[in-house]
Amino acid sequence: MSKLTILRYPHPNLHQVAKPVEVVDDRVRQIVADMFETMYDANGVGLAATQVDIHERIIVMDVSEERDQPIVLINPVVVWSSSEHVVNEEGCLSVPGIYDAVDRAERVRVKAMDEHGNSREVEGEGLLSRCIQHEMDHLQGKVFVEYLSALKRNRIKTKLVKAERDAAKA
Ligand code: NI
């Protein structure tokens, strides 16, 4: 396994649209393993392949306290979402240190394949629901800050570009 580099907003590749995985083979399983290592190392609850510059429809998640309930979603499709919505704070490994309120469906059900190519449905509420929707946005090239006002988004952009520049100098 190896840790992958997480792209940081406003990296342009975060806006690429991911392509469906054609065959779930050892190559894909390796990507999944590397993504889990990267996500756990960064203390994240979810990671989309787009964030590690791989533009295929692959998501890994673990919203458990014990960090022992990995979920893999390959080629996920939303089959149902609740009409009830919840506004809650959200963050993203590609937007470090930034948290803001985003409106999401309270519950969602997705159909996807696991790392063995088996199709199944996953239904989530609360953090799991929010995480599924957030990661699926990544596969469409959308970062959560795009739900915020242009003013906030520009502030975030400036802050992150400056942080990156300072880190490069250090
Ligand atoms: Ni994210």
pLDDT of 105: 98
pLDDT above 90 coverage of the chain, percent: 96
Q: What separation in Å is there between the alpha carbon of 136 and the centre of ligand 1?
A: 9
135 catalytic residue (yes or no): yes
Q: What separation in Å is there between the alpha carbon of 91 and the centre of ligand 1?
A: 7
Cα–Cα distances in Å, from 82 out to 47, 98, 123, 125? 23, 27, 11, 10
3-class secondary structure, 121: strand
Given 90, 115, 135, 164, the catalytic residue: 135
Instruction: Read off the pLDDT of residues 28-73 as tens digits, 9 standing for 90 and up.
Output: 999 999 999 999 999 999 999 999 999 999 999 999 999 999 999 9
The b/e string for 44-70 (b: 16+ C-beta within 10 A; e otherwise) is bbbbbbbbbebebbbbbbbbeeeeeee
Which residues are within 8 A (CB) of 48 and not within 5 positions of it... i.e. 6 or more apart? 18, 58, 59, 135, 136, 138, 139
Phi, psi of 86 (to 5 degrees): -135, 135
Token pair of 45, please? 């609850």
Q: Is 53 left (phi over 0), alpha (psi -120 to 50) or beta?
A: left
Asked whether residue 1 carries a pLDDT value surpassing 90, the answer given is no
Instruction: Read off the pLDDT of residues 106-134 as tens digits, 9 standing for 90 and up.
Output: 999 999 999 999 999 999 999 999 999 99
Q: What separation in Å is there between the alpha carbon of 31 and the centre of ligand 1?
A: 17
pLDDT of 170: 80
pTM, rounded to two decimals: 0.96
When pLDDT is cut at 50, 70 and 90, the band that residue 12 belongs to is very high
Q: What separation in Å is there between the alpha carbon of 144 and the centre of ligand 1?
A: 7
pLDDT of 5: 97
Q: What separation in Å is there between the alpha carbon of 29 and the centre of ligand 1?
A: 21
pLDDT, average across residues 85-96: 97
When pLDDT is cut at 50, 70 and 90, the band that residue 146 belongs to is very high
Which residues are within 8 A (CB) of 126 and not within 5 positions of it... i.e. 6 or more apart? none
Q: What separation in Å is there between the alpha carbon of 27 and the centre of ligand 1?
A: 23
pLDDT above 70 coverage of the chain, percent: 100
pLDDT, average across residues 162-170: 89
Query: Using CA atoms, how far apart are residues 45 and 42, in angstroms rounded to an integer?
Result: 9
